[in-house]
C-alpha cells in the first residue's frame, strides 16, 4: 500500500500553512512509493532532487508555479492544474510525467529555463490542451518526441540524440517567423536560397542539439501544407541560417501522411548554424526562374542564374544567333560567367560579345526540355 503524504504535513523545512507558497529551505526527499501533492506554489531554495515517489501539482481554480534558487528533480510527476503550471526555474523529471490537465509553461524569453527530461524519463497523456508551452530539454541517447506546443496546438519535434553527454532542447512557436515575439531579429521568409520556393509563415520551431542532428517535424490541417506544396516530395524542412541570413533547405529524407497531417525528417545538419526551423518547399520545374545576365564583374548578375536548377539533374546548352553551341554543361550550378567553353566556337575560353543568345535546358527527371533566350550586356 502506498504511503500518501498530503501537503502541509511534510517537514519543518517546509513553511506554508496559511501562506500562498510552500518554501523549502532544507533537505526533502520523497521515498519510494511516497506521494506528495502540492496545491499551492512551490519555492525551492533547498535540496529536493533525490526523490523516488510521486509528486503531483493540483489546482482547479488557480495557476501554480515552481520557483526558487535550487532545481527540483521529481521521479514521477503529474500535473492537474487547469490554469497551468508555470516554471520559473528548471524542473527535472527522472522517470515519468503525466499531463492530466493544463499546460506546463516555461518563459519563452528565457530559453535556459525548461522542463528537463533525464535519460530514462518519459511522458504520457499529452495533447493540444495539456502539453509544455515553451522549452523542453532531453538528456539521453535515444529517440525523443518533444511534447511541445503553443496556444491550443501541439506540434511535437522528434529527434534521436546519438551523441553522449549532450542535451537537446526544443520549443514550438505558433507565429509568423517574419514577426517573432521573443527573438531579437526577424526571419524574412522572402530571403531564401535558390532551391527554396516558399517558407511557412504560420509556425516555427527553435531547436538546439549536437552537430550531427536529424529532426522530424509534424503538421496538421492548420499548418496549411497545401499552400506550400501539392506533392509531399517537394516539401522540405528549412532553417534560418545565422551567418547567411536566409532560409536554407535542410532536406526531406522521409515523410509520412497527407497534406492534412504528417511528418517530415531532415538530413543531418548542425543546429548551431540555424536559429529556427520550419516547413518550406522546393522550386518545381514549372517555377524555375531565369534572371538577367551582365557578366561585367560588378557584383550584380555576373553569372547566368536559373533559380532552383540545383534541385534537378540537367543539361544546359547555350547557342549564338547562328545556332552554334558556345557553352554546354551537365548539372548546371548557376556559375556561367559568359565565357565560351565549346571547342566548336572560335571564342573558346573568351567572353562572348554583347548580344542575344538562346538556351536549351533539359531536365533529366522528370524528363522535360525548356528553351529561352538571354541577352549578354556588359
Averaged pLDDT in 10-residue chunks for the chain of 378 residues:
43 48 93 94 96 96 97 98 98 98 98 97 97 97 96 96 89 98 96 91 97 96 95 93 97 94 96 98 78 81 85 88 89 91 76 88 81 84
Cα gap 155→168, rounded to integer Å: 16
Of the three residues 102, 127, 159, the one that is the final residue of a domain is: 102
What is the domain extent for residue 326?
285-376
Examine residue 124 and state whether it is found in any structural domain, yes or no: no
pLDDT at 377: 83
Residues 249, 294, single domain; the answer is: no
Count Cβ atoms within 10 A of the Cβ of residue 170 and give its class: 0-12 exposed, 13-18 middle, 19 or more buried: buried
Last residue of a domain, one of 70, 102, 134: 102
CA distance 359 to 305: 12
**Cα first-last separation, the chain:** 88
| 22 and 94 part of one domain | yes
Residues 227 and 309 in one domain: no
10 and 97 assigned to the same domain: yes
| Within-domain flag for 5 | yes
- Same domain membership, residue 274 and residue 321: no
Same domain, 223 and 302: no
Domain contains 365: yes
273 and 164, same structural domain? yes
What span, in angstroms and rounded, lies between the C-alpha atoms of 40 and 57?
Answer: 8
- 342 assigned to some structural domain: yes
Q: Which of 208, 276, 283, 212 is nearest to 247 (CA)?
A: 276
**Structural domain ending residue among the three candidates 282, 305, 329:** 282
Same domain, 343 and 222: no
Residue with cell 528537463: 116
Domain count, the chain: 3
Please indicate, yes or no, whether residues 88 and 36 belong to a single structural domain of this protein: yes
Look up cell 512551490; give the residue: 42
Q: Is 190 exposed, middle or buried (0-12, 13-18, 19+ CB in 10 A)?
A: exposed
User: 356 in a domain, yes or no?
Assistant: yes
Q: For residue 262, is it within any domain?
A: yes
Residue 46: all three cell numbers together: 533547498
CATH number at residue 293: 2.60.40
Q: Is 113 part of a structural domain of the chain?
A: no
Residues 201 and 236 in one domain: yes
350 closest CA partner among 363, 337, 359, 360: 337
- In a domain, residue 196? The reply is yes
Q: What per-residue confidence (pLDDT) applies to 9?
A: 37
- Distance from C-alpha of 365 to C-alpha of 330, rounded to nearest angstrom: 13
- Do 161 and 266 reside in the same domain of the chain? yes
- Is 272 in the same domain as 155? yes
The pLDDT of residue 343 is: 75
Amino acid at each position: 500500500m502506498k504511503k500518501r503524504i498530503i501537503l502541509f504535513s511534510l517537514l519543518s523545512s517546509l513553511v506554508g500553512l496559511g501562506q500562498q507558497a510552500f518554501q523549502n529551505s532544507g533537505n526533502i526527499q520523497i521515498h519510494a512509493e511516497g506521494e506528495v501533492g502540492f496545491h499551492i506554489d512551490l519555492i525551492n531554495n533547498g535540496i529536493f532532487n533525490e526523490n523516488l515517489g510521486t509528486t503531483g501539482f493540483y489546482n482547479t481554480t488557480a495557476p501554480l508555479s515552481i520557483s526558487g534558487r535550487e532545481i527540483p528533480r521529481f521521479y514521477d510527476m503529474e500535473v492537474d492544474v487547469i490554469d497551468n503550471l508555470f516554471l520559473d526555474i528548471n524542473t527535472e523529471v527522472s522517470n515519468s510525467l503525466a499531463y492530466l490537465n493544463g499546460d506546463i509553461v516555461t518563459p519563452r524569453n528565457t530559453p535556459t529555463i525548461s522542463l528537463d527530461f533525464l535519460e530514462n524519463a518519459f511522458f504520457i497523456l499529452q495533447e493540444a490542451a495539456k502539453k509544455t508551452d515553451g522549452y523542453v530539454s532531453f538528456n539521453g541517447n535515444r529517440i525523443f518526441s518533444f511534447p511541445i506546443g503553443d496556444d491550443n496546438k501541439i506540434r511535437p519535434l522528434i529527434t534521436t540524440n546519438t551523441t553522449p553527454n549532450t542535451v537537446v532542447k526544443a520549443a514550438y512557436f505558433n507565429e509568423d517567423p517574419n514577426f517573432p515575439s521573443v527573438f531579437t531579429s526577424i526571419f524574412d521568409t522572402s530571403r531564401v536560397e535558390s532551391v527554396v520556393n516558399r517558407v511557412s509563415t504560420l509556425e516555427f520551431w527553435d531547436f538546439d542539439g549536437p552537430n550531427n542532428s536529424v529532426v522530424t517535424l509534424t503538421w496538421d490541417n492548420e499548418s496549411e501544407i497545401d499552400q506550400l506544396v501539392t506533392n509531399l516530395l517537394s516539401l522540405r524542412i528549412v532553417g534560418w541560417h545565422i551567418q547567411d541570413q536566409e532560409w536554407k533547405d535542410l532536406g526531406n529524407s522521409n515523410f509520412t501522411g497527407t497534406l492534412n497531417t504528417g511528418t517530415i525528417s531532415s538530413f543531418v545538419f548542425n543546429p548551431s548554424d540555424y536559429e529556427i526551423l520550419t516547413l518550406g518547399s522546393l522550386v518545381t520545374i514549372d517555377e524555375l526562374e531565369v534572371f538577367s545576365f551582365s557578366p561585367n564583374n560588378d557584383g550584380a548578375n555576373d553569372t547566368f542564374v536559373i533559380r532552383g536548377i540545383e534541385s534537378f539533374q540537367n543539361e544546359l546548352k547555350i547557342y549564338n544567333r547562328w545556332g552554334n553551341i558556345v557553352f554546354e554543361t551537365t548539372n548546371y550550378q548557376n556559375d556561367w560567367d559568359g565565357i565560351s567553353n565549346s571547342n566548336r566556337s572560335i571564342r573558346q575560353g573568351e567572353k562572348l560579345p554583347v548580344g542575344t543568345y538562346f538556351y536549351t535546358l533539359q531536365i533529366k527527371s522528370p524528363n522535360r526540355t525548356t528553351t529561352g533566350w538571354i541577352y549578354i550586356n556588359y
